[in-house]
A and B are shown apart, each in its own frame.
Chain A
Amino acid sequence: MTEKEINYTQTELLATVAGRLLEDKKSVFVGTGLPMIATMFAQRTHAPKLLIFFEAGSMGPQVPVLPISVGDSRTFYKAIAASSMHDSMSLTQAGYMDYGFLGAAQIDIYGNINTTVIGSYENFKVRLPGSGGANDVGSLCQKTIIIMRQDKLRFVEKVDFITTPGYLSGKGAREEAGLPEGGGPYRIITQLGVYGFDDETKKMKLLFLHPGVNLEKVKENSSFDIIIPDKIKFTTPPTEKERKILHEIDPTGMAIGK
C-alpha cells in the first residue's frame, strides 16, 4: 500500500484495532486516553453489551464523549452504578474483570511495564506519573491490553522499573509471586503491529503487522528479539464509517487528533 492510499491516521488505526479486540458481553477496566476511545468504539460497534468499568467507581456507563479523567463525570454518564474505587478494585481482584486496558512508557520481552522513572530509581533522569491504577490492572485483570508507541527506547531488554507486572521473568513467575492465576498481558498494540505472548516462554511474539509495515521495521524498533511467526497476518484499517465514529467519540480531538 502506498502512502497516498492511506486515508487514516496511525492513532485512528490503533484505536480501531484495539477496539476490535474487545468482546461483547465481557468486562473491561479502562485507562485514560486511547484505551477509552477504543472501548467506546467497541461499545458503539460490535460490542454494545461491553461492560465498562473505571477505577474511580463507574460501572456500565454509556460514555457520551471522551473523558479527560478516568474519574470525571463523563465516565459515569448513564452508568448502572456510580460506586467507589474500593468497589471497582475489589471486584477486579475477585475476578470480575476480563480485560484491562493500559498505556506504557517502556515494556520488555515479558510485557513488564514501566511508567515510574527513566533511569535508575535513585538517580532518575525523568520522573513519570507512577503506577496510578496500572499495577492494579496488570495484577488483577484476566487479560491486559497495552497500547503504546514502539521504538528502541520503549521496547527494551530490561525496563528501568517494573511498575506493572507482565509475566515478570517468564512462565509461572506471576503465580510464584502470588499474583492471581492465569492473568497477564494479552496483546500489545503499537504503530507497527499487534503482539501476543508465546504460550511456553511467555516472550513477546508478533501476531499482526499493520498495512504498509514490514518485518524490518519491527526489528529496527525493538531492543529485544521478538518472536516472528512463519506466516504474517495484517490488521484491517478503519473504514470511513469507523473513522467517523472515532471522531464522534472525541469531537475535540484530544486523543484521536483532528
Chain B
Amino acid sequence: MEVLQEGKGELIGWHDPDENRKWILENKDRDLKDKRTTVKEAVEKYVKDGSFIAFGGFGHVRVSMAVIYEIIRQKKRNLIFAGKTAVHDSDLLIASGCVNKIEVAYAFAHELRGLSPASRRLVEEGKCEVIAEISNAGYQWRFLAAMMGVPFIPTRNLLGTDTLKQSSAKVVKDPFSKKPICLVPACYPDVVVMHVPRCDMYGNAQIDGIIIEDFELSRAGRRVIMTTEKIIDNDEIREKPWLTVIPFFLVDAVIEVPYGSHPCNMPYKYYFDEEHIGEWLEMSRTPEGVNKYFEKYVYSVEKFEDYLELIGGQKKLKYLEDVEHLKAKLKAPWLERKRKK
C-alpha cells in the first residue's frame, strides 16, 4: 500500500499485534475468581507512574471519580491520558499534576459549561503536553482496532485536515477503491478505569443506557479497574447474559462504590452535581484554589463515604437522584458567571 501522508503526532499505546497477543496470553487470567478489592489497592497495583491511562464513560458521564480521587491522593506522576472525550476526569488529573501528557480528541473544556480553567492554564503554561490530536470517532476506532487484535482500522474521517497532520494516523491509497483512506493505529492503554451500575464479584458488568465506547475500551485495555454502584450475584448475570457488556476475563479489579461517579452523571441514578462542579470551576481559576479544592475533597478525606458527607450527604444525593428523574429543577451556579461575562 502506498503511504500518501503520515501524521506527526506521537504514537501512543500501540503494540505489534503479536506482542500484544503474547502479553494477553501471559497476563490475562481466565479463572472465574473473586476480584473484589479496595480502590486504594487497585490504584497501587495497576496505576504506575508513567502509565498510559484511559477512563470509561464520557469525561463527566459515568466516570469512576473514586479512582480519580485515589490517583490524586497517591500522587501518581507522569501519567499519559487518553483524551478520548476528556472533561472533568482529565481536568482534575491534569490540575493535580498527575497527568502531564495527553492525546486529545476533546479536552480542556467542560462542554456546555465552557473551558476548564485549570487544565487549560497548565497546557498553556506548557506543564501538560499535547502529544497528538485525533477526533472522537478516531479515538474510538483506535480502541476498536485494539480489541480486534489488528494493527489499524481504515476510516474516512480526519482526511485533509491539520487534525490528521498532528495525529498518529496515516493516509494510504486503498487497494480496493483506489481512494485515499485514513488508517488509525490500534491503541492499548496500560490501564482502563470504568464505572458501571452493576457487576458481579468476578467483573461481569452490565451498563444502563448508552455504552459510549466502553465495549471496545474494556477489550483494548491491558488492565481494567472497575468500580460499580452495586455488586450483584453471578446468578443475576446468568439470568440475562445478553445484558453483559464487559465479561469478567477482561477485568482485573472490582470495587463497590455507591455514588462513585459523583459529581458526574450516572444515567438512571443521579445527574451532574452542578453546584459541586461549579465550585471546582470557580476554585480552579487559581493554582491556590486548586490546592484548596484537593485539600478539602481529596487529601484530607480517607473514605469515599466521608467525601459524600462533605459534598452534602444523603440530602444532596437524593436531590441529584430527583434531578436525574426530572423531579427536581437543575441548579447551575456556574451559569451566573457565564452570564456576567
Contacts and interface: CB of A to CB of B under 8 A. Distances in A.
Nearest to B109: A129
Given A83-B210, A133-B136, A163-B161, A71 B272 contact: no
B213 A85 contact: yes
Contacts of A128: 108-109, 115
Interface residues of B, number: 68
Contact of A178 (B83, B140, B171, B265): B171
A68 interface: yes
Given A68-B112, A70-B111, A252 B160 contact: no
B28 to A, nearest CB: 22
Given A76-B209, A251-B329, A89 B111 contact: no
B335 A73 contact: no
Interface string B141-167: 100100000000001111111110010
B218 to A, nearest CB: 12
B32 to A, nearest CB: 26
A84 B160 CA distance: 26
Interface string B81-98: 001010100000000000
A82 interface: yes
Given A135-B157, A139-B158, A71 B210 contact: yes
B163 A73 contact: no
Interface string B207-219: 0011111111000
Contacts of B324: 73
B59 interface: yes
A135 B161 contact: yes
B58 A71 contact: yes
A165 B157 CA distance: 9
Nearest to B136: A133
Given A163-B162, A253-B335, A93 B155 contact: yes
A161 B216 CA distance: 30
A182 interface: no
A105 to B, nearest CB: 11
Contact of A93 (B112, B157, B267): B157
Interface string B196-237: 000000000000011111111000000000000000000000
A57 B211 contact: yes
Nearest to B214: A84
Interface in A50-75: 54-58, 64-73, 75
A132 interface: yes
Nearest to B215: A84
Interface of B: 57-61, 83, 85, 87, 104-109, 111-113, 115, 120, 123-124, 130, 133-138, 140-141, 144, 155-163, 166, 171, 174, 179-182, 209-216, 265, 267-268, 271-272, 274, 324, 326, 329-330, 332, 335, 339
Interface of A: 32-33, 54-58, 64-73, 75-76, 82-86, 89, 92-93, 112, 116, 121, 124, 126-136, 139-140, 161-165, 168, 173-174, 176-180, 251-255, 257-258
Which 5 A-B pairs rank lowest in CB-CB distance, beginning with the nearest?
A178-B180, A177-B160, A71-B58, A57-B210, A132-B106
